Amino acid sequence: MIELNVSGMTCDGCAARVREALEKLPGVQSVEVSYPQGTASVAVDPGTPASALTFAVTRLGYQARLANSEIPSPAGASVSKGRDKGAQHIAVIGSGGAAMAAALKAAERGAHITLIERGILGGSCVNTGCVPSKIMIRAAHIAHWRTESPFDAGLSSQAPVVDRAKLLEQQQQRVEELRDAKYEGILRDHPAITVLKGKARFVDAHSLTVTLNEGSEQTIRFDRAFIGTGARPSEPPVQGLADTPYLTSTSALALDTLPVRLIVIGASVVAVELAQAFARLGSRVTLLARSRLLSQEDPAVGDAVEAAFRREGIEVLKQTQARRVDYTDDVFVLETNAGTLRADQLLVATGRTPNTEALNLASIGVETARGAILVDEHLQTTVPGIYAAGDCTDQPEFVYVAAAGGSRAAVNMTGGDATLDLSAMPAVIFTDPQVATVGLTEAQALEQGFDVETRVLDLENVPRALVNFDTGGFIKMVAERDSGRLLGVQAVAGEAGELIQAAVMALRARMSVQEIGDELFPYLTMVEGLKLCAQTFTKDVKQLSCCAG
């Protein structure tokens, strides 16, 4: 006989549901469930795993724990630290890149997980961010090449007819496929992870309350907790903006029609990517930059992207801010320091706000800065035993950083010792040309006290760019003057995102530019530009043969 403690039942009907679920399991002989006592007594055949019983109960949305037994309880069990002799219980809030990585790694290391998600499984990347945006950007890239390419003298070109509704259907189908394959399907079949659909709120450092989407509440006790709640598009304090139906990146990617005129407020990653995509699909786009494009990057990067935008007819207004926004007769009217602007749609892409305000963090001592959770090098918050990673923290907002942080946090929550080293973190902006960076910019290196030497290689000197007839862009290397050690790389090129990982590995290996210049790189690849740029520290590459070593 196996005895279970079952919490979360609110009536005899709940007890009947639990009994029916248990009776369906192989090896179960008989079941008695008591709602008033919160127990289930299960007679089973020899060898029937107790974990299968608790898992069957937790899948119904209740919590189950083995009574008077040392057999581990599953993720949904209500576990008190120091009392249960079974597996460690970890509560994971969220289901995006950070949360999934944390849940899977912790389960791999023997923990049982309760994962709480208030909305759609998968987080922003697969649902409303990376995946749909890159699909749209790719479609826009193809539309652009069909309209205009460097080979138009010999290849006919014709502007395509863009059916945005069909593109959106294709985009969302792929999103749903990836969400099911990488999130829903994995969670559905994982015996150590129980999913609760609802909103979590911390009660203390070892318990939280979940308001289930169906209306009831459950209290979860945990040994460790992980926060991976991500972030959402922020709303700047512009007069009148909140009263208008403006677009965020989320709603812009879900548009089934293309605006004739589009204004984009913002000049960072999301703003520039979507501005160019809409322009290439047929919208007339005006972009408002408070200072300049990509102001956090080396100035040459923003200048190169701006030049590309202007060649494509995208209007870039620098040093421009909206003072007031109105929406009248289906038209957005913006009052700016550059005059009055009008458009059919307004996209606001000025940053993201961490999803932390509903977690009751301050009451339990978890410190935040402008809503972002502060974490140390082990991904632990200011409260021992509570960890966080991803866009809800003060870390860089990249999904691969989130996943790496979640995985390392799981190691630490389960007794290991792992840190997240961001000294060689690559970043890619999917404009055309792409922007890819790693390490320090020249300004950052100088601020940190390095004596630096830099070189800039225009793409006219890269054979791959020459044969592509696409030489708009550059590769810049920042090195320590005396040792030649590589400190950073900034690249603006058609395939910059594909070459940057080689620079990441060089940084990790603490290679010098001389060593990079001596390496073998395949000819007629864009990554060969790294070798050529490294060689410019000691020679004039214009005087080399096309594939000279």
Catalytic positions: 9, 11, 14, 62, 125, 130, 546-547
Contacts with 365 (C-beta within 8 Å, 6 or more apart), sequence order:
205, 382, 383
* H-run or E-run covering 297: none
Please report, for residues 44, 52, 502, the alpha-carbon distance to residue 4 in angstroms, rounded to integers and kept in the order given.
13, 12, 54
Q: C-alpha dihedral over 4, 197, 228, 112, to 10 degrees?
A: 20
Please report, for residues 80, 167, 237, 547, the alpha-carbon distance to residue 223 in angstroms, rounded to integers and kept in the order given.
7, 46, 40, 59
Residue 543 DSSP code: G
Residue 164 DSSP code: H
Paired strand residues for 486: 479
Distance in angstroms (rounded) separating the CA atoms of residues 171 and 444: 39
Contacts with 269 (C-beta within 8 Å, 6 or more apart), sequence order:
294, 429
Helical packing angle, 130-147 and 164-179, nearest 10°: 140
Contacts with 374 (C-beta within 8 Å, 6 or more apart), sequence order:
367, 368, 381, 382, 393, 394
Contacts with 56 (C-beta within 8 Å, 6 or more apart), sequence order:
21, 22, 24, 25
The encoded tokens of residue 8 equal 């979360």
* H-run or E-run covering 126: helix 123-128
Contact 361, 368 (CB under 8 A): yes
Q: Hunting for tokens 């458009």 — which residue is that?
A: 343
Instruction: Tell me if the bond preceding 49 is cis, omega within 30° of 0.
Output: no
Antiparallel, parallel or unpaired: β 315-317 and 284-288: parallel
Distance in angstroms (rounded) separating the CA atoms of residues 181 and 194: 17
Quick one: 474 exposed, middle or buried, by C-beta within 10 A (0-12, 13-18, 19+)?
buried
Q: Under DSSP, is residue 118 helix (H, G, I), strand (E, B) or coil?
A: coil
Q: How many CB atoms are located within 10 Å of the residue 156 CB?
A: 5
Q: Which long-range contacts (CB under 8 A, 24 or more apart) does 69-72 make?
A: 69/2, 69/3, 72/112
Paired strand residues for 241: none
Please report, for residues 439, 473, 506, 523, 541, the alpha-carbon distance to residue 526 in angstroms, rounded to integers and kept in the order given.
19, 12, 16, 9, 16
